[in-house]
Structure 1
Amino acid sequence: MVDTAALLAAYDAQMRLPTGAVPSGMIYEYDGPVLRIVGGHVGRIRAPRDVGVTGADLDRLIMRQRDYFQARGQGVEWKLRAHDLPADLPERLVAAGFVPQEPATVLLGFAEEVAAEPVLPDGVVLRRVSDTEDLRRFADQQTEVLGLDCSWVAADLAARVSADPDQITILVAEAGNRLVCTALVDYCPGTDFVALLGGATLPDWRGRGLYRAMIAARAREAVARGFRLLHVDASPASAPILRRCGFHEITTSTHYQWMPPN
């Protein structure tokens, strides 16, 4: 039996705050217990499981983050997990104008158990990318799959590669001149974890094992680099595949988003 409580404890201890190089153009600054990440497409707030303030003090902390990004003309997202404290933090975020997005399932896997030779459909090539044109194509493919404007992703990935190319692996599965699946790995220095991100497959290529191949390839790279655990914030479509690959649910995560008025 897998000790999910131990996995959750490792996650809380190691995956609450970013580690490693700060991408160019980004600023990481603390406001009390929370980390404010500035300079990206939107602002981001990261925090320990228990922010350690309550009541009016917590309301003021929330409003400072909202007002900071409002002054920049930007939105901000505050990431919460289902077991975070204080228990009324979600209600207080909503009262300050933050809107909860669709929850994701937080799944962890053991890299050595998941790692395998990726099995790709005939005619599909898996390769690592980092140049400007490929990153633009990566962002375009994510836009097509997700139905959202992901053009900002190209610059974000370029900044991360520039900060430390060994901290990220960006993968594409290509059929002819089409990127049929895209994904990336974020290695978290000083922890047991890598984060599996992206994971977008074109609708007409789903059901052919591409997502599983990306999981296997990224897990194999994690093992080669000495990382033990894999982390995914999984969508409802991805979670069943990850469970079949041996991942274990430990909690859920929700982004509470505030956007400036038009």
Structure 2
Amino acid sequence: MTQPIDSAATDAAVNALFATISRLVELSDGMRLRQGAAGTRLVFTGLPTASLNIVSVGPDADLGEVDAFAKEMSAMGAPWSIQSRGEVDSALLELAARHGRTSSSTLPLLIWDAELLPTVPASVPEGTTVREVRGDEAEVYAAALAAGFGMPKEVADLFSLPALLDAPDMTAFVLDLNGAAVATGFNIITGDQVGLYNGSVPPQHRGNGYYRALVAARLRHAAASGARYAFTQNTPMSRPLYESLGFQLAETWTYLTSAS
């Protein structure tokens, strides 16, 4: 994407992001997603991470609707956050504080256009291969995911359900080093968009180009499957890699969480 990202492209990516989350919820037991009349969304995964259980505020916030969703979320017993696109105004900050959400963090939303595909490297480091993983190898994917993120195996298992790995619009990937999976990624396609999730490499394997090779392979796979645009949210550690492949910042999301 060689031009600045306009609001229509950003909105399309945001809508696609929530469409991919809806698919995850649909195929996973115990998860919930619903949207209020004013555009507020409630996403509950039950996972022990505040950014994965959110009350997402629409562009024109209805504070009454946000408050009602926040009360509902607070009764569900998992860490949660109020998420807003861009900066948070004083009224929303006050509402969040009433629900104990007094800490703030941010994540970028990055967007990529497949017109940049010719610039994406096709080679992989020596001794490695990138391959797709299906439901019959759920344990392989879960173990690599747990190692890459340092997460409990039981949490990784929830992202490795055969129902997800075998879904036609979802593809799990691993990068094998001498036959052992050392990096992971997960694509979800919706319309002409692909969401890039669950990218991980354990600390002992970082700095060797494995993650870059895996992201590049995932972009090529998505484009071959009909995706024109890609989006991702990531940490400061991986953001420069995505930007080196042509991803651009669309907007920054704020997450208001409990101080504890």
TM class, shorter-chain normalised? Answer: 0.7 to 0.9
Partner of 2:233: 233
Q: Which range moves more in the overlay, 230-239 or 103-112? A: 103-112
What do the CA deviations read for 1:94-146 (whole angstroms, capped 9, x no partner)? 431236464222111112413646322221121111235x4333333333333
Partners of 1:154 and 1:47 in 2: CA distance: 26
Q: 1:169 is paired with a residue of what secondary structure?
A: strand
Deviations 1:161-218 (A, max 9, x none): 27x6112110011123532211111112xx4311111221122322222122112111
Q: Which residue of 1 aligns with 2:128?
A: 124
In the alignment of these two chains, the number of paired residues is: 250
Q: Say which is worse superposed, 118-127 or 57-66, in terms of deviation.
A: 57-66
The answer to whether the 8 A contact 2:105-2:256 is kept is no
User: CA 1:154–1:194 in structure 2 vs 1: closer, same or farther (change >3 Å)?
Assistant: same
Q: With CA pairs under 8 Å and 6+ residues apart, which has the higher RCO, 1 or 2?
A: 1
Structure 1 runs of 4+ aligned residues shifted over 4 Å read: 99-102
Specify every segment of 5 or more residues in structure 2 that has no aligned partner in the other structure, as ranges.
none
Report the residue type matching 1:98 in the other structure: R
Distance 1:91 1:125, change over 3 A: farther
The equivalent position to 1:35 in structure 2, one of 41, 45, 60, is 41
**Cα contact 1:120–1:210 (8 A) shared by 2:** yes
Q: Tell whether the 8 Å contact from 1:185 to 1:195 is kept in structure 2 after alignment.
A: yes
Partner of 1:145: 148
Contact kept, 8 Å, 1:119 with 1:209, in 2: the verdict is: no
> Do the aligned partners of 1:135 and 1:158 also contact (CA within 8 Å) in 2?
yes
Indicate the residue corresponding to 1:5 in structure 2.
6
Aligned counterpart, 1:206: 206
Tell me which residue corresponds to 1:64: 72
Judge conservation of contact 2:40–2:58 (CA < 8 Å) in 1: no
2:27 and 2:99 map into 1 onto residues whose CA distance is: 29
Please give the TM-score of this superposition, normalised by the length of structure 2: 0.79
Residues 1-262 of structure 1: matches in 2 within 5 Å? 1-6=2-7, 7-17=9-19, 18-20=21-23, 22-25=26-29, 26-32=31-37, 33-38=39-44, 40-41=46-47, 44-45=53-54, 47=56, 49-50=58-59, 52-54=61-63, 58-67=66-75, 69-70=76-77, 74-83=78-87, 88-98=91-101, 100=103, 102-114=105-117, 116=120, 118-131=122-135, 134-149=137-152, 151-158=154-161, 160-161=163-164, 165-188=167-190, 191-257=191-257
CA contact (8 A) 1:27 1:37 kept: yes
How much does 1:48 deviate?
5.7
Q: 1:222 to 1:112 in 2, by over 3 A?
A: farther
RMSD: 3.1
Task: Report the AA paired with residue 34 of structure 1.
Answer: T
CA distance in 2, matches of 1:149, 1:101: 25
**What secondary structure is seen at the aligned counterpart in 1 of 2:253?**
strand
Structure 1's unaligned 5+ residue stretches are: none
Q: 1:159 to 1:97 in 2, by over 3 A?
A: farther
**SS of equivalent residue, structure 2 residue 159:** helix
Is residue 160–residue 168 contact of structure 1 (8 Å, CA) maintained in 2?
no
How far apart are the structure 2 equivalents of 1:217 and 1:159? Answer: 22
